[in-house]
Structure 1
Amino acid sequence: MVRTVLGDVPPEELGVCDAHDHLFISTPALPGQELDDAEAALAELTAFAALGGGAVVQWTPWGMGPRAEELPRLSRQSGIHVISATGMHQAKHYDRGELERVRGRLAELFIRELTSAPVQAGMIKVAGAYHRLDEHARNVMAAAAEAHHATGAPIGVHLEAGTAALDTLDLLCRTHGVAPDRVILGHLTRFPDTRIHRQVAEAGAFLAFDGPSRAHQATDWRLLDSLAALAGAGHAHQLLLGADTVTATARSGADGPGMPFLLAGLRPRIERELGTDLACAIFTGNPARAFAVRWRRP
C-alpha cells in the first residue's frame, strides 16, 4: 500500500505522480521565501489535477513547516493523493535548540510520524552535504535506516547539488542494510554525470530528477539526455520526475513553471522524443512501485 495523508491506498490508485515536490516549507536558510499559503497550495494542486495529475509527494520533513494538518483538506478538495514525509534535512535548516531537543531519538520520532501521528507520513526524507556526508547526515541516515527497518517506509535523499550519491548508497545499503530499491535519490539533474547515474541505477536505487527550476536552472537542458541515457541502459523502471517547488515565486500562479509544467511541458516532450511507454513509466508505473510499502508495525 501507499500511505497517503488520507490513509493507505493501493499503488495503482496513485495515477500520474509528481514524485518530488513541496506544498509547504519554511527554513531559516531561506528567510522570506516560505511556502506557507494554503490556498496557493490548493491552487497548484488543482491546476495539476486539471492536467490529469493524480498524486503529489511532499518531501518536506519534520521541523521545516510541513503543515501536515492542512494536507488532508487540500487532498480532498483537489482530488489529488498527497504523500507526506518525516525525516530531517541538513542542520542549517534548523534552530540549534530544535536539533538538541531530538538528538538521540530521531528514529523514534520518524517511526511515530510514520505510524501513529494524526496525519501519517509515507516516506522518510534525509539529506547529504556537498560531495560528502557530514556527521549530521550520517546520524540522520542511521536513524532513517532504523525507522525503515521498523516500518518498511522508503527513504528519499536530498543530494546536495546532486552529489554524494554513491557515498549515500554505500552508507544506507552496505552499512545499514537498506535494500537499494527502497532508496530514492533526489536532485540528480543538478549533477548530470551519466557515469554516476549509471552506477547508482545499476545498484538498484530509484533516481528522481527535478523539473525545470528557477533556483537550479543551469542543468535543466540536460534532463532529457539523462533520462534517455538511463532508459537506453535498461533503467527505465527506476526513473522518477518531480517539480520540486521550494519558493512561492516558483509556483505556476506566480513566476515559475510549478507543478503543472510537468504535465503541460515536460510530459509531451518526453512522449515525443523518448516515447509514450517511458513517459508512462516515469509518471505512473515507477512512482507506484517506489512509494508502495508492505507496512510493518514496530
Structure 2
Amino acid sequence: MVSTLRTVLGDVLPEQLGVCDAHDHLFLSTPLLPGQGLRDAAAARAELAAFRAQGGGGVMQWTPYGLGRRAADLPALARESGVHVVAATGLHQAGHYGEGTLERLRGRLAEVFVAELTEGIGASGVRAGFVKVAAGFHALDAHARWTMAAAAEAHHATGAPVAVHLELGTGALDVLDLLCGELGMPPDRVILGHLNRSPDFVVHHQAAEAGAYLAFDGPSRAHHATDWRMPNAVRALAEAGFTDRLLLGGDTTTAGARSVSGGPGMPYLLRRVRPRLEMAVGVQVVERMLTENPARAFSVEWH
C-alpha cells in the first residue's frame, strides 16, 4: 500500500508536502477565547499567502470537531494559496464545549471520527487527515480518556495518526501509556504537541525513545518558555539521535496573533524560528524537521 497525506483537496504523496507547519489554525472559535477567534476567511487567505511567500508548502490545521473548522472553506483557501492543508477531526478538552454538544456525541464518538476521516466533515465533502485530542494539566481526566479511546479506535479503523494537545506540555508519558500501552496504538502514530512548553529534557528523551513524534509548536510565546529554551531542547534530542522524531509548528490561535494583524503568525516559523534553530543544530536537521518528518508523521496507509 502507498502512504498518502489526506489534504482538503485530496490525497497526496508525502514528497509533495514541502516545508510544513505541523500545527496551526486557519479557523478556530472557542468560548475560552471570547472575541479572539479565527473566523475571517480573508485573513486566513492572507496568512496562507504570507506563509507561502516564506517558502511554506503545507499546514496541519489542528482545529477539531465543534470549534469552527469551516471545512467547506478550506479547499478554496488551499487551491488559491498553493499550500497543502490537512484538516483534523477529534475533540478538544471539555471546557471548549457546551454540555449538549458532548452529550450528543456519547456512544458514537469514534464513529464520528471515522466518518470525518473517510467520508467527510459534515456536508462539506472534505475529509480529515488526522485525529486531534487533548490531555489535561499533568492528568488524564475522564473526558481525555473517553476522547483518546475513540481516537485510538479511529486509528485502528483507518490508520490515521493521533495528535495530542498537551496542556502546558505536561503529561506526555501518561498519554503514551494510555494510547500505546492500554489502547494498542503504535507510538509512531502519536504526535505529542507543545513539548516546548515544559522543557523537561528527560521526558522529551523518554517520549522520543518510545517512538512518538514531538512537536515544538507555538513559538513567539515567551511566557511559555518557548523561544529561548527550544533550541537547547531540540539540540539535546538531535544529539541523542532523535532527529527523525521532531516537528515544528506555529499554533496561531487568536486573530491578533496573525501576521496580517501585526502578530507573528504562520510566517514567523520560517522567518525567525528556522534560522534560530539552524544556528543550534544546523541546516540539515531543521530542513528534516520541516519536510521529511511531518510528511512521514501525517502520511497514512489508509485502511
TM-score bin (small chain): over 0.9
Q: Is 1:295 aligned to residue 302 of structure 2?
A: yes
Q: Deviations over 1:110-135 (max 9, x none)?
A: 00000001100000000000000000
Letter in 1 for 2:210: A
Residue 143 of structure 1, CA deviation: 0.4
Report what 1:165 is aligned to: 172
> Partners in 1 of 2:223 and 2:160 — Cα distance?
28
> Partners in 2 of 1:80 and 1:219 — Cα distance?
26
Alignment match of 1:97 (pick from 79, 95, 100): 100
> Partners in 1 of 2:89 and 2:38 — Cα distance?
17
> Partners in 2 of 1:211 and 1:225 — Cα distance?
16
Residue 63 of structure 1, CA deviation: 0.5
> Partners in 1 of 2:48 and 2:232 — Cα distance?
28
Report what 1:256 is aligned to: 263
- Per the alignment, in what secondary structure is the counterpart of residue 247 of structure 2? strand
Alignment match of 1:206 (pick from 180, 194, 213): 213
Q: Is 1:220 aligned to residue 227 of structure 2?
A: yes
Cα contact 1:214–1:256 (8 A) shared by 2: no
Q: Is 1:143 aligned to residue 150 of structure 2?
A: yes
Letter in 2 for 1:28: P
> Partners in 2 of 1:85 and 1:215 — Cα distance?
27
- After superposition, the Cα gap between the structure-2 partners of 1:62 and 1:94, relative to the gap in structure 1 and judged at 3 Å, is same
> Partners in 1 of 2:269 and 2:288 — Cα distance?
14
Report what 2:62 is aligned to: 59
Letter in 1 for 2:214: L
Cα contact 1:210–1:241 (8 A) shared by 2: yes
Equivalent positions of 1:74-153 (< 5 A) are 74-117=77-120, 118-153=125-160
> Partners in 2 of 1:95 and 1:284 — Cα distance?
38
> Partners in 2 of 1:211 and 1:267 — Cα distance?
13
Residue 216 of structure 1, CA deviation: 4.7
Report what 2:50 is aligned to: 47
> Partners in 2 of 1:152 and 1:196 — Cα distance?
26
Residue 189 of structure 1, CA deviation: 0.7
> Partners in 1 of 2:264 and 2:238 — Cα distance?
25
> Partners in 2 of 1:171 and 1:19 — Cα distance?
23
TM value normalised by structure 2 = 0.96
Report what 2:13 is aligned to: 10
Cα contact 1:213–1:245 (8 A) shared by 2: no
Letter in 2 for 1:100: E
- Per the alignment, in what secondary structure is the counterpart of residue 261 of structure 1? helix
Cα contact 2:21–2:290 (8 A) shared by 1: yes
> Partners in 1 of 2:218 and 2:178 — Cα distance?
27
Letter in 2 for 1:191: S
Letter in 2 for 1:21: D
Residue 29 of structure 1, CA deviation: 1.1
Where do 5+ consecutive residues of structure 2 fail to align?
none
> Partners in 2 of 1:269 and 1:75 — Cα distance?
28
Residue 223 of structure 1, CA deviation: 0.8
Letter in 1 for 2:138: H
Alignment match of 1:71 (pick from 57, 69, 74): 74
Letter in 2 for 1:245: T
Residue 271 of structure 1, CA deviation: 2.1
Residue 210 of structure 1, CA deviation: 1.4
Q: Give identity over the alignment, percent.
A: 65
Residue 215 of structure 1, CA deviation: 7.9
> Partners in 2 of 1:136 and 1:273 — Cα distance?
39
> Partners in 1 of 2:167 and 2:158 — Cα distance?
26
Kindly report the root-mean-square deviation, in angstroms, between the aligned alpha carbons of the 2 structures. Answer: 1.0
Residue 217 of structure 1, CA deviation: 4.0
> Partners in 2 of 1:40 and 1:210 — Cα distance?
21
- Per the alignment, in what secondary structure is the counterpart of residue 44 of structure 2? helix
Letter in 2 for 1:42: R
> Partners in 2 of 1:219 and 1:10 — Cα distance?
32
Letter in 2 for 1:45: L
Letter in 1 for 2:232: D
> Partners in 2 of 1:293 and 1:239 — Cα distance?
18
Q: Deviations over 1:190-232 (max 9, x none)?
A: 1010000000000000000114244854332111111000000
